[in-house]
Chains A and B, each alone.
Chain A
């Protein structure tokens, strides 16, 4: 069973280097990180601003997902952070970091972690387009 090094739902800036440092150890031969960044376009339309909203249970559920990932992959440490509130274009909304003895398990666990966060964590994304229209993503 791997260790859950850090789980964070926050309105503060989150950083890949912080999460990578949280999973680093002398027994790890591989660290895989993922940074999900706010982009200035969606489905070919220009996005001018974006905001995430988190349900009060998001922190606890993110801890549960991180524990599940730690339990089903041959990895050493798992860390994940999701930012909410308004996030400027180009900054990270979701960061995952996994360390393992070997790269394959770290890649697999990191991808699994990101997929599970997207599926299970009650966080919503509202984007405003250059033409003044807006949408809640996945809720057409």
Chain B
């Protein structure tokens, strides 16, 4: 039982991994723990948007439960 965090593009490059398992908690709490374990994320996260179980997330105070997936998306650069 854990939360799956998926990191994309610049966030994956900064963390050095594409997927992590973390304990359930608030989005902000999870992000803080990620910065602690992967300090290079500190530069990238303020620019990112987030998906919680594939839905756009606007409140970093939201609770993330076990078995959920939190996606970390850097600024888009398609086209």
Q: Do chains A and B interact in one complex?
A: yes
Q: Report A's interface with B, CB cutoff 8 A.
A: 36, 52-53, 55, 57, 82, 93-94, 114, 117-126, 136-139
Cβ-defined contact, B75 with A118, below 8 A: no
**A136→B78 contact, CB < 8 A:** no
Q: Size of chain B's interface in residues, with CB distance under 8 A?
A: 16
Which residues of B come within 8 Å of A, CB atoms? 8-10, 13, 44, 47, 51, 54, 71, 73-79
Determine the distance from Cα of A117 to Cα of B77 in the docked complex, in whole angstroms: 9
Given contacts A122-B73, A136-B13, contact A53 B8 (CB under 8 A): yes
Q: Contact check: which of A57, A82, A126 meets B78 at CB < 8 Å?
A: A82
Decide if A53 touches B9 in the complex (CB within 8 Å).
yes
List 11 interface pairs A-B (beta carbons < 8 Å), by A numbering.
A53-B9, A114-B79, A118-B77, A122-B8, A124-B9, A124-B10, A124-B76, A125-B77, A136-B13, A139-B44, A139-B77
Cβ-closest 10 pairs across A and B:
A123-B78, A124-B9, A136-B10, A137-B77, A139-B10, A125-B77, A138-B75, A118-B79, A138-B77, A94-B79
A119 touches B76 (CB 8 A): yes
A124 touches B8 (CB 8 A): yes
Residues in B whose Cβ lies below 8 Å from that of A94: 78-79
